[in-house]
Structure 1
Amino acid sequence: MSSKSRTGKKSRKSSIEGQDAATHESFALSREEKRDVEESLPPRVQVLHEIIRQQGKEELERSISALGWSSLAAGLSMGFSMLTRAVLNAHLPEAAGWFLVENLGYTIGFLIVILARQQLFTENTITAVLPLMTVPSLQHFGKLLRLWGVVLLGNLIGVGLFAYGVGHMQVIEEPVRESIIKLGLDVMHNTPWQMFSKGIVAGWLIATMVWLLPAARTSKVMIILLMTYLIGIGGFTHIIVGSTEILFLVFDGRMSSIGYIGEFALPTLAGNLVGGSAIFALISHAQVRSDD
């Protein structure tokens, strides 16, 4: 090959490289545009993990009285999931499709509790567990059990007061009362194994909601609505909302306290813990550790 030919190939190659460089330069971003790109990117999974871990750490350090009052308020607020759904059920036409509209009421209690930053037990199945998974210790485990015990008790007292008040203070009409009874009886058609299995899905969905919220920014309400609506239309069992409906039956004399504890509360509680902590939180934490 002649030197002239080689020189021509080199010049063409240099020209192409120059064109590529010019094209690349034309797509170069300014500092402000790069910042806009970074702000538009979703947060890394490690960021979500750390946000939720920090929230859990703060909750573990709260005093018993602060946790107790907040969880009591959450239990009272969660009662509106039962009440709103029952009101819709009482006034909507009796047709299969209206079931989807009725379950919009199921989301109301969750909206109140989460946006008001009240303590809900099933949220703590992931937030309070991540600090323990990150730094396993007896001290963290003891704080976790303290948090779970106080919040669960406060939530159940709250929903119990709500159910008793609605049933005995003449604040609802008879059609709404019948709707509440129907909701409770529908839940009790499940066997204890079904309570447990459906509780796993409910716990998983609540943990998913908690995981999504830090990245939601302006869409937090939609995330809460979507995740809790899925629990409602799926008939998945939730220890706090379900307790409102079943305790109403207990106070109305249609069910015994033993039946509430053995047939609903214990299997549903176990399912929520497995779905939120043993599955979702563990897998999410393992993902972050694997990346590290």
Structure 2
Amino acid sequence: MASPRADDEQKAADDRPPQMEDQEAQQVEERAAISPLVVHEVIRNLGKEELERPVSALAYSGLAAGLSMGFSLVAEGLLRQHLPDVSWRPLISKFGYSLGFLIVILGRQQLFTENTLTPILPLLHRFSMQRLWQVLRLWGVVLLTNLIGAFLFAFVISHTDAFESGTRATFADIGRAAADHPFWTIVIRGVFAGWLIALMVWLLPAAEVARVSIIIILTFIVGLAEFSHIIAGSVEVLYLVTTGALSFTKYLGSYMVPTLLGNILGGVSLVAALNHAQVVAGSNKAKSDEKGG
């Protein structure tokens, strides 16, 4: 009796045009879009690796990511400072917002918003209290060290002459634009930011040569729409804190908390849970079809 796999291969062969050879059929398969199951498994395996990393490795990587994200503020500020004050200026200056994400993601540093997807898939795949603890440990270490790195970067650029006064004033303007919104507006903007960053992580395994383009396009939209990102936005708002223009408690209650809440909701519920659900549903259907066959 033929196996299900052999039957599938025979059906595929029967569907081919008569002039197509095996080598050409293989090329068709190689160029076909990667399946959601493959993407899911790539990210799940990465998540398992991250959950097993020691705290010290997570902390150093998280600190590096927090520092690196500071270059989003620097790049955007420099572009904004050197462009005329016209309506299309954000269309150019917001490309600078992508720089920190490029450094962090291509450098494989630990960024909190990426971790609203990557370690969540192993947890959803096989829930246990031990794995839940591993996720919470990873989140706590990465978030804390990201924010420490963001604060250190903001402190240095606000208390040194690395940038001229006009550029530092632009940094402050960017920080005020990020912080000057009601609590629930920031939550909603945080949902969109967490959604897009987690979607970016979902897209990267299938991207191959387009990885840089995907990172730039999606993070550019986050910046242009002024969606609230817990680390990139914290560098901007903490700049105000380090200059004394905003209190630390105001940053915590009016920016950090609503942004963190929104990023987690957007990443976990709208990307991790939904994409995991579609993969599980597809796997259950495949098993049902196999039994029926």
Separation in 2, partners of 1:245, 1:263: 14
Separation in 1, partners of 2:265, 2:81: 34
Whether 1:202 aligns to 2:190 is no
- TM value normalised by structure 2: 0.90
Equivalent positions of 1:135-146 (< 5 A) are 135-146=126-137
Kindly state the Cα deviation for residue 26 of structure 1 after the two structures are TM-superposed: 6.5
Separation in 1, partners of 2:133, 2:20: 51
Which string of whole-angstrom CA distances, capped at 9 and with x for unpartnered residues, describes residues 248-283 of structure 1? 100100000100000000000000000000221111
* 2:123 maps to amino acid: L
Residue equivalent to 2:164: 173
Equivalent positions of 1:81-92 (< 5 A) are 81-92=72-83
* 2:114 maps to amino acid: E
Separation in 1, partners of 2:125, 2:236: 37
| 3-state SS in 2 of match to 1:127 | coil
| 3-state SS in 2 of match to 1:28 | coil
Equivalent positions of 1:1-292 (< 5 A) are 27-292=18-283
- Aligned in 2, Cα 1:39/1:247: closer, same or farther, shift over 3 Å? same
Which string of whole-angstrom CA distances, capped at 9 and with x for unpartnered residues, describes residues 169-217 of structure 1? 2100111101000001111221111110000000000011000000000
Q: Structure 2, unaligned stretches of length 5 or more?
A: 1-14, 284-293
- Aligned in 2, Cα 1:26/1:197: closer, same or farther, shift over 3 Å? closer
Which string of whole-angstrom CA distances, capped at 9 and with x for unpartnered residues, describes residues 147-168 of structure 1? 0000001100111110001111
* 1:88 maps to amino acid: L
- TM value normalised by structure 1: 0.90
- The size of the alignment, in residue pairs, is 269
Question: Percent identity, aligned pairs only?
Answer: 47
RMSD of Structure 2 on Structure 1 (CA):
1.1
